[in-house]
Amino acid sequence: MKINPIYRQESRAGARSFKLPLIILGFNGVLAVVALLYMYSMIMQVRLTAEIQYSSFLGLYVFVTTVEFILLLFIIPGLTAGSISGERERQTLDLMLTTRVRAVDIVFGKLVLGLSTVFLLIVSSFPILSLVFIYGGVTMADVGRLLICYVVTAVLVGSAGLFCSAAMRRSTMATVAAYLTVALLVAGTLVVNYLADGFAEMTSVSGNSAVSWPLYLLLCNPAALFQSVLSGQVGSESGMAVLFPQLERIADMGALGRYWQLISVIVQLLLSAAFLWGAVRRTEPARRK
């Protein structure tokens, strides 16, 4: 089996550094502190009221998975945004392109390296997520769907970071551009939906102020996909459901409503492919010149 040379070289170099263990320690440390504090607050509530609310245990699952999702959105651009621009700053990119290594090998090697780190973070957090199995309410199938959501988000955000890294000459600018792209995908599409609903409510004369076309933008939103998966597991009243009330209208949109999660996954993977194609084009010597 042929292994990507960029991934093989950098994974060996990364195995000798303390950066990856520190990232894993910090990531799981934050999740563990959040989970233990939440469990402590639930135990204190039981002692005060002498009542056990099992719905609050599902709140632990929602809270921990939401914190993990937010951490992934912040960590992944930092892992990928400096991949290609860093090689350009060190003046090693042109040397790599003079060998038999192609631009597509460089881009996909950097992507697989970043995704392997993210996948290690996700897998290492499973013991913390398994706390909810003590009280029940969540199945392994639910965790599997959540894992797919995390992987799709990692591919999309990582691809966006690689495109910014290939398009910018400095790692600092590439990192800023990557975080702005993530903010546009997450907050930008949400703001468009709120503005469209508000404008329709102000201009409506028949009382029907709901508009449906901005919902299509949420197909590109990884946070909307995360809420859709989470709401299907624990109910629409929990967690991040308050951020995307527009998704409650997708049930009335026919096939789009029935297969919303599947269509959203496909759209985000296609958007990731577009980002990767742009990164390859920007990394090729002729295109960069």
Using one digit for the tens of pLDDT, what is the confidence trace for 6-46? 767 767 666 666 777 888 888 888 888 888 887 788 778 77
Query: Whole-model pTM?
Result: 0.83
Dihedral pair phi/psi, residue 89, rounded to 5°? -65, -35
Rounded CA-CA distance 270/255 in Å is: 20
Residues of the chain with pLDDT under 50: 207, 237-241, 288-289
Total Cβ atoms within 10 A of residue 217: 17
Domains contained in the chain, number: 1
DSSP state of 187: I
Quick one: pLDDT at residue 249? 63
- Only one residue has tokens 């792209």, namely 181
- b/e per residue 165-174 (b: at least 16 CB within 10 A): bbbbeebeeb
Query: H/E element holding 217?
Result: none
What domain range includes position 197?
A: 5-288
Q: What pLDDT score does 157 carry? A: 93
Q: What pLDDT, on the 0 to 100 scale, is given for residue 266?
A: 93
CB 25 within 8 A of CB 75: no
Please give the pLDDT value at position 183. 92
Question: Are 276 and 107 spatial neighbours (Cβ–Cβ below 8 Å)?
Answer: yes
**pLDDT at position 237, please?**
47
Question: Residue 118: its pLDDT value, please?
Answer: 84
Query: What was the pLDDT predicted at 270?
Result: 95
